[in-house]
Structure 1
């Protein structure tokens, strides 16, 4: 006589963007043949900013809260929960961490790998949202939309914005440089080309044949900066890309260029920007990400002219939340069926990879 197999214990750790129930429903849909025992957790993000927790960054909640919620779970589907080295060490039953983000920055991947725990991620889950937002920031900066709105509400009719020396420029016929050409950058390029822009791309990992097929021009970063009236950042942060825009190369930009960053604050050195804006060397700056989030009260760019700021909202759409939960659940379902998940940060931790993976 055989005994019924125990339900698989799953932690669904969400927040006020990706609710835990989204993970629950997505995993049930992705693996209807399996039985699950769910426990849930809601971290405070985005009502409270994420930040470093233990030895990981961009996390929400505490290690103690996570361990209490985790219990003896085998699978964790998470958004911001802090899977530090200490948490991983205290979770001997854990076999998979599925992270609903483009990169698992809230997980100590080295500790997870050493423990035989694969860590999955969700590339492209917010690509459409972030691309649309970047285009919106460009248009807002080029056409003075936020400042015109604010001044009209105060009773000031800025007819002088129609004067030729103050008039904006169109995307049609303008050269726009994209730094990074992954899922988001490629969508931005497609939209820009529909506007009629000439698109330059700086990304050492882009296949020249793909760039040619997409109708964009692949160039070095320095050339992109020299030629672009608008520059938009879409790269990931790595040791090589940190402060890739800095005092040395920002001066290559044409006079009055517009700079947009909706990717990651660490890609730029923000120090030179206030003076560049005050002198008109930089025509406008549109930011959704910052070197410190949220920016402090004495942040120099608060007083600089022609700055548009939004609170890290580029990926904030309902479709992004649904998509992130679905992709994360699909990776977990594949793992539970003994298949290889599509997006694994540390494939060497998968079962059967040189003896890695925690036993079932």
Structure 2
């Protein structure tokens, strides 16, 4: 009988993992132990050669030793942990990017590793729309005036009023699990949605988007650009001084993907100069954010800057989808069925 460790944290609680595993595996699992990691109350970090991990190797080894499987979001699954826990056969990572797992070491030991791609796609898409509407209609800026006890009639002046989604040309860089959902919502709201995504299969989003051949043309044509690309060496700094210069004066930019996709110095210059009408971000080049960056001063000085602390993917439903996804994979593994999202097969 299989023994499982549910190594949760304070977003995806250990008990939620345990309940999902019990429901998906039934009598195939003998017992499920719990370990609570401290993220997000403590930041994640690099541990033993893996990134974005919570906790430490020694505590994990103590909890995992003698167990066959682990379901987790952030536990540091390193080569040292594998060496100390030779019974481990299955790792279920409840996130899209399993940077907290040494995949090479897992594959060498024949440990199956799976993830849950798209678990937070809907949450991130909805948050993107929230950021977009907040910056277009200056919602945080106008709220601050009321908090200060001021009734600013000047927000009805022609040069200060907001911008509508309906009728706007909105450009998306990337149209996967997040961008595709954003595209459908924007289309339903009456926007003309243009997309640059060389990996988007033919036929997907037909009737919803106009495909664009180059990323530069998205910046040239759009009233609003929203970034949904993966961060790779090729896409790092994708939103640059040169691409911002292609945008129409008064345009808007939204980024709820990854901070490394954007040159934040260039963004600050563009919004302070008035070339951009506003910007909205959920992600930053380093996190926790560097509050000495001029972008924060620009926001305090009254420029149209909307910011949230990397919470786009955080929802009750995201946590549930994440645990149900890894639990379903564990059930398949124990029944000898193919995994839907195995990560180590190609390395073996």
Picking from 154, 157, 172, the partner of 1:163 is 157
2:261 aligned residue:
267
* Contact map agreement 1:104 1:119 (CA 8 A) in 2: no
2:65 aligned residue:
71
Could you say what secondary structure the match of 2:265 adopts?
A: coil
Picking from 339, 344, 348, the partner of 2:342 is 344
Corresponding position: 1:236 with 2:230:
yes
User: Using the alignment, how far apart are the partners of 2:329 and 2:36 within structure 1?
Assistant: 21
Picking from 15, 21, 27, the partner of 1:21 is 15
User: Using the alignment, how far apart are the partners of 2:239 and 2:47 within structure 1?
Assistant: 28
1:189 aligned residue:
183
* Contact map agreement 2:10 2:38 (CA 8 A) in 1: yes
Structure 1: tracts of 5 or more residues without a match: 1-6, 350-355
User: Using the alignment, how far apart are the partners of 2:232 and 2:30 within structure 1?
Assistant: 37
Picking from 183, 198, 202, the partner of 1:204 is 198
User: Using the alignment, how far apart are the partners of 1:300 and 1:83 within structure 2?
Assistant: 37
User: Using the alignment, how far apart are the partners of 2:228 and 2:98 within structure 1?
Assistant: 18
- What whole-Å deviation, never above 9, does each CA across 1:229-263 have from its counterpart, x for those lacking one? 11111122222222222223222222121111111
* Contact map agreement 1:208 1:218 (CA 8 A) in 2: no
| Offset at residue 213 of structure 1 (A) | 4.2
Structure 2: tracts of 5 or more residues without a match: none
Could you say what secondary structure the match of 2:91 adopts?
A: strand
| Offset at residue 209 of structure 1 (A) | 2.2
2:104 aligned residue:
110
Could you say what secondary structure the match of 1:212 adopts?
A: coil
| Offset at residue 122 of structure 1 (A) | 0.5
| Offset at residue 65 of structure 1 (A) | 2.0
Does the C-alpha gap of structure 1 residues 271 and 111 become closer, same or farther in structure 2, counting only changes over 3 Å? Answer: farther
* Contact map agreement 2:173 2:196 (CA 8 A) in 1: yes
User: Using the alignment, how far apart are the partners of 2:238 and 2:103 within structure 1?
Assistant: 25
User: Using the alignment, how far apart are the partners of 1:101 and 1:222 within structure 2?
Assistant: 31
| Offset at residue 188 of structure 1 (A) | 0.5
Picking from 252, 255, 258, the partner of 2:252 is 258
2:295 aligned residue:
301
Could you say what secondary structure the match of 2:99 adopts?
A: coil
- What whole-Å deviation, never above 9, does each CA across 1:289-324 have from its counterpart, x for those lacking one? 111111123122111122111111111111111111
| Offset at residue 63 of structure 1 (A) | 1.8
2:327 aligned residue:
329
1:314 aligned residue:
312
Could you say what secondary structure the match of 2:26 adopts?
A: coil
* Contact map agreement 2:195 2:209 (CA 8 A) in 1: no
TM-score, structure 1 length as denominator?
0.91
Picking from 166, 169, 175, the partner of 1:172 is 166
User: Using the alignment, how far apart are the partners of 1:69 and 1:342 within structure 2?
Assistant: 27
Could you say what secondary structure the match of 1:209 adopts?
A: coil
Does the C-alpha gap of structure 1 residues 64 and 269 become closer, same or farther in structure 2, counting only changes over 3 Å? Answer: farther
Corresponding position: 1:98 with 2:96:
no
Could you say what secondary structure the match of 2:11 adopts?
A: coil
* Contact map agreement 2:106 2:113 (CA 8 A) in 1: yes
1:4 aligned residue:
none
